[in-house]
Amino acid sequence: MSRVQLIVAKANSRLNMKLAAILLASSSLLSSLLGFLRDRLLNTYYYDTLPNYADAYTVAFIIPDFMFFILVSGALSVSFIPIFNERMESGNKKSAWELTGSLLNLLALVTLVTSVLIIIFAEPLVQYVVGPGLDEVGRGLAVSMMRVIAINPFLFAISSVIASVQQAVGRFTFYALAPVMYNIGIIIGILGFTGGINIFGFQIFEGGIMGVALGVVLGSVLQLITSLVGLIGLGIDYDFNIYWKNHGFKRVLRLLPARSLDQGIDYFNNIVETNLASHMAYGSVRAYNQATTLYSVPVNLVGVAISTAAFPQMAKRLSQGRPDLFRKELQSILRIIIWLALPITFVVLFTSEYLSTFLFPKGAQVVAAALSILSVAILFRSVFHIASRSFYAQQDTKTPLYISIFAIGFNIIFAVILTTQFNMGIYGLAIAQGLTAVIEVAILFRVMSKRIPKLFDGVFVGVVVRMVFAAICMSTVTIVMMFLMGPVVADQGFYILFPKFVIVAGVSVVAYTFISRSFRLEEAEHVIDKAKQILGKIAFGQIVAGGRKKD
């Protein structure tokens, strides 16, 4: 093994659940910050001056993303990982690698065909499905960009299988870096390709917003390369065959349809929302997309990161025949997610104007208002990810599917009524989504309580009630801090508004932590103890450094 391979293998060493969650949350934060920069640049160039261009760019993603989600995304990880782990636990590595290669080859073939079909049918898909309300220029741009972005399902499929292998064996370093590289690619496209591409004095690309679409493809390629590097040291045995007789592969194929349909139905709601928003004022598609992007950041930081890190261990507990440990760990993870998501929900609710200015230099009141409505969904969407994974760990993909069908159906009907009958615009879309998030988690919890006895016992409920009271008390601090910082004026600029936001959010979180401690919540105790350790090390280092200088 070369020196480079040794360095990569060391960087990609196995992590425990706690370190994995920290790494995933950190990478998600970095990716989100890069995403903020990406969107801020795009909004600066197009939202205020050419809002129909910004709408077209947003619409172009819908069908490629939909096909990726329905064919590959969450369906892969929750169906593949438990079965892959079973093979590894039993020592049957040959079967595990046959399963991996078969799935990679099948999904690559299916998504390649899908990408070609999107390129062929991009025009009717935009005109009749996702962007019927766009003007003629916007539809033309959306079609052209969709044909460029159509390669994403194929590239993402390969990346996702590779990432799932790394996730299954507890190697999260390159898994965490991959989405960061994707955003870097898009930023390169915005800054480097929109002005055109010249090679040796010959202009091979004129630029414009199509340069951003090229950046998306570059980001997808960088993400795939990063995922491939993460395979070094894992000992993967790959060939180009599809082992249809592999029992593990057969089981994954049986589990995939329900989860894929679940993912597809969930994203189908996005198609309907985009369709409805395209009939609204110029910029509505982009504005609603940005509001959902902002509210998704804490969901990814808390719900997705923690659930992703915890899922392999949960699946392993059941494969070991230890449902008692599975219930205990699920309770603990639920508590952590709720404790973290509650204060974020309140902070986003009260600081939505700050957050909207980070993506829109001139401010966007419509985005801020929609984000305030969506903030209610942060807690429930964060909890949703671990709640649904509790079923997937039991290799039950049908129950979450049935619940999603009901929830998404409700969301679509409610959104159509609010936007067409009551003319509530994107606020109607936000209200429908927030209410749906509450209903979906409520149903999941009801089923979980019957499936896993004593999961929501008196102790757990009491802890959650204390968390809610702690968050309500913290919100008072948040409101006071907002008053002290003064009104949000977009013209003040990012470098003035961002420090104000950090102060408001920082003071609120500190207050929440100590209020939680006074309510005897052990989650707060762990955070405070860790902070003391860090501060103690810093102080000790300063004392040692001072002593050396004195000597």
Please write the tens of the pLDDT for every residue from 223-236: 999 999 888 777 77
198 forms bridges with which residues in the sheet?
203
pLDDT at 203 over 70: no
pLDDT at 201 over 60: no
Q: Are 286 and 54 in contact (CB under 8 A)?
A: yes
Q: Give the tens place of pLDDT for each residue, 459-482.
A: 999 999 999 999 999 999 999 999
Predicted pLDDT at 9: 62
Cα angle 428-69-36, degrees, rounded to a multiple of 5: 60
Predicted pLDDT at 447: 93
Predicted pLDDT at 536: 58
Higher model confidence: residue 102 or residue 233?
102
Q: Give the tens place of pLDDT for each residue, 48-89.
A: 788 999 999 999 999 999 998 888 865 566 678 888 888 887
What's the rounded Cα separation, in Å, for the pair 276 and 271? Answer: 9
Predicted pLDDT at 8: 62
- From the list 162, 165, 164, 156, the residue with the least C-alpha distance to 185 is 156
Higher model confidence: residue 277 or residue 323?
277
pLDDT at 320 over 60: yes
What's the rounded Cα separation, in Å, for the pair 336 and 328? Answer: 13
pLDDT at 114 over 70: yes
Going by pLDDT thresholds of 50, 70 and 90, the confidence category of residue 115 is very high
pLDDT at 491 over 80: no
Going by pLDDT thresholds of 50, 70 and 90, the confidence category of residue 172 is confident
Going by pLDDT thresholds of 50, 70 and 90, the confidence category of residue 308 is confident
335-373: b (≥16 Cβ within 10 Å) or e: bbbbbbbbbbbbbbbbbbbbbbbbbbbebbebbbbbbbb
What's the rounded Cα separation, in Å, for the pair 27 and 32? Answer: 8
Q: Give the tens place of pLDDT for each residue, 367-401.
A: 999 999 999 999 999 999 999 889 888 888 789 88
Higher model confidence: residue 542 or residue 518?
518
What's the rounded Cα separation, in Å, for the pair 51 and 357? Answer: 17
Predicted pLDDT at 540: 43
Which of 166-170, 174-178, 355-359 has the least mean pLDDT?
A: 166-170
Place of tokens 């959010």: 505
- From the list 309, 68, 299, 27, the residue with the least C-alpha distance to 167 is 309
Region 325-342: mean pLDDT is 92
Q: Are 212 and 189 in contact (CB under 8 A)?
A: yes
Predicted pLDDT at 525: 85
DSSP per-residue string spanning 14-67: ---HHHHHHHHHHHHHHHHHHHHHHHHHHIIIIITT-HHHHHHHHHHHHHHHHH
- From the list 300, 283, 256, 359, the residue with the least C-alpha distance to 42 is 359
pLDDT above 90 covers a percentage of the chain that reads: 53
What is the chain's mean pLDDT, rounded? 87
Predicted pLDDT at 38: 92
pTM score, whole prediction: 0.84
pLDDT at 4 over 70: no
pLDDT at 337 over 70: yes
Which of 118-132, 250-264, 277-291, 303-317 has the least mean pLDDT?
A: 250-264
What's the rounded Cα separation, in Å, for the pair 10 and 400? Answer: 38
pLDDT above 70 covers a percentage of the chain that reads: 89
- From the list 351, 372, 364, the residue with the least C-alpha distance to 490 is 364
Q: Are 178 and 243 in contact (CB under 8 A)?
A: no
202 forms bridges with which residues in the sheet?
199
DSSP per-residue string spanning 419-465: IIIS--HHHHHHHHHHHHHHHHHHHHHHHHHHHSTTTT-HHHHHHHH
Predicted pLDDT at 208: 85
Region 348-354: mean pLDDT is 95
Q: Are 161 and 71 in contact (CB under 8 A)?
A: no
Higher model confidence: residue 231 or residue 21?
231
What's the rounded Cα separation, in Å, for the pair 39 and 360? Answer: 8
pLDDT at 255 over 50: yes
pLDDT at 215 over 90: yes
Place of tokens 């706690």: 18
pLDDT at 545 over 60: no
Highest mean pLDDT among 122-131, 227-236, 446-455: 122-131
Give the dihedral of Cα atoms 277, 278, 279, 281; nearest 10 deg.
Answer: 80
Going by pLDDT thresholds of 50, 70 and 90, the confidence category of residue 2 is low
